[in-house]
A and B are shown apart, each in its own frame.
Chain A
Amino acid sequence: AQSVTQPDIHITVSEGASLELRCNYSYGATPYLFWYVQSPGQGLQLLLKYFSGDTLVQGIKGFEAEFKRSQSSFNLRKPSVHWSDAAEYFCAVGAGGTSYGKLTFGQGTILTVHP
């Protein structure tokens, strides 16, 4: 069964600092990987996704993520954080085969940004 671990429950950074949110997955085949962001009172917004090809993927709002098969990781990065990036971030893995739909989420990382 697939699973996702986000080791950091809460991260605090200063505005303008760089950011890396960790995500480790467990899945037997090629994973389809996603990062979603949830602002308070909002739904889940897709930041970026990896299906195949270039292992460094670019997303919206200046975010990027790198797929590392050897480490089973898909960490999210941003070179300079803005106060508006404060939110909860979820990593998710999608199954292949006949079960494209089911997404398995990590427990989320809450990002606090200090001015």
Chain B
Amino acid sequence: DADVTQTPRNRITKTGKRIMLECSQTKGHDRMYWYRQDPGLGLRLIYYSFDVKDINKGEISDGYSVSRQAQAKFSLSLESAIPNQTALYFCATSEGPGQGDLAVAKNIQYFGAGTRLSVL
């Protein structure tokens, strides 16, 4: 089973509809992220959460909201979808701070398989 699971994998919706994308992880990581990926624009960070009580906006949060229901669950909502939100959406997790060798990165991100969203 995948360590980072995103549902649904594909979604087609209409302009103005509310939609929720869900992410769950079994890696035991504290930090979770939502990105969108568009051709030519790369990965852009929408929101991130360092723990259940910590939610932060990324570079493109307008039109999106998130909920961190538990350490393992982080959902992304589009309150009123618009066509330019058509994209590939990824959830990711990372371990977060810790002790030990400074040469060992703690921010390596592990991605889900993505949700392909089309807004008509």
To the question of whether A and B form a pair in one complex, the answer is no
Chain A residues in contact with chain B, CB under 8 A? none
